[in-house]
A and B are shown apart, each in its own frame.
Chain A
Amino acid sequence: MQRWKQYGGLFGLFAAFLAAGYWGFTATGGALPWAKRSAKALQRGVQDGGGALVDLGRGIVVAGPIRKGGLVLEFFGLVALLVVVGIGMYVYVDRYGGFEDGERPAR
């Protein structure tokens, strides 16, 4: 298929979804964290709100239950473990061509 048709379709999809996103942003209270937005919208219905679409000053926040429970270190430890195991399996499969016959139902 011609490239302009592919990217035209992609940009059309993005434009429609971004417009829906902006409506959703304003209709559900504006610049609110998701938990507050969700609770407010479901309890009180749609209410217009404003605020910045992007607020980099807040930084990237680890999920509240992890942060408040003092589990940030454990969280990053778990993430590192999963990443190492994942990459280790990838390297193993790539280097040795898979698991032993009968050990795993591989095709």
Chain B
Amino acid sequence: MAHIHLGEGTFPVWALVLWTLVGVGLISGVVYRVRKGGIETHQIALAGIGAAASFAVFQLNIPVWGGIHMNLTGLVGILAGPLLGALIALVVNIFSAALGHGAVGLIGANTLVNASEAIVAYYAFKTLWGMDWDVFPASASAATLGLSAGAVLMGAIIVVSGVNGSALPRGDLTIAVAGLVGLNLGVAVIEGILTGFIVQFLASVRPDLVGLADREPRDEPTGVTA
């Protein structure tokens, strides 16, 4: 899913500085809110599992549409919440850049992209859940929307920054980037379905982990009981 795979030196220096500063600002705000509000203990465990799953999936290239990788950031956002989701995005991007998957100079930009996926997925899920949606359509839609937000942000970052060495005028570059964003929207569907099944399973075995323990069952049991 959305991840800027361009090499070092592809963006101008001012863009690297800008996206790094914005990324630092986001993470600073997240850390401040985490320190101020604290974290539910079960969320720490979920964050560990989410970071492991996200990092592992990040490195696996799947032979669909030429070759793509998933992020699971929508799942991470729904399970761990927007604050830990943003921190997980940072950790996964640092690990990935250390392995050569994504430029070190783009850690700030990539953290923004992946954190936006987790944050939007979380709030979309909460909104749909509040509208009395079932778990699967709510989580699949939320993850898909979150991932699409990340894809659009990725495209915007590339277009705003410009690409060193590209002779394309800004209009043509925008169309080319729109193609990359469009492809990501298609992949978001696959990841959204996967996320929907995972959240539905978790909600059926441990609804408290997904924050769904307080909802009354939709279908009351029918039939004769002793």
Contacts and interface: CB of A to CB of B under 8 A. Distances in A.
Given A93-B45, A106-B41, A42 B66 contact: no
B42 interface: yes
- The contact size tier of chain A is 35 or more
A21 B141 contact: no
Contacts of B101: 63, 65-66
A60 B60 contact: yes
A30 B66 contact: yes
B137 A65 contact: no
Interface residues of B, number: 70
A1 B69 CA distance: 34
Contact of A69 (B100, B132, B145, B187): B100
Contact of A42 (B59, B67, B137, B173): B173
Interface string A51-78: 1011111111111111001010001000
User: Which of A7, A24, A25 gathers the greatest number of chain B CB atoms within 10 Å?
Assistant: A24
B18 interface: no
Given A33-B66, A45-B175, A89 B44 contact: yes
17 contacts: A1-B133, A14-B189, A17-B188, A21-B65, A21-B185, A23-B179, A24-B178, A24-B183, A25-B182, A25-B186, A28-B176, A34-B68, A63-B69, A65-B99, A79-B56, A92-B45, A106-B38
Given A21-B189, A106-B38, 17 more contacts: A20-B185, A24-B179, A25-B66, A42-B158, A42-B176, A43-B168, A54-B65, A60-B61, A62-B60, A63-B101, A66-B99, A69-B100, A85-B48, A92-B45, A105-B39, A106-B40, A106-B41
Interface of B: 5-6, 35, 37-42, 44-46, 48-53, 55-56, 58-69, 99-101, 131-134, 137-138, 140-141, 144-145, 148, 158, 163, 165-168, 172-173, 175-189, 192
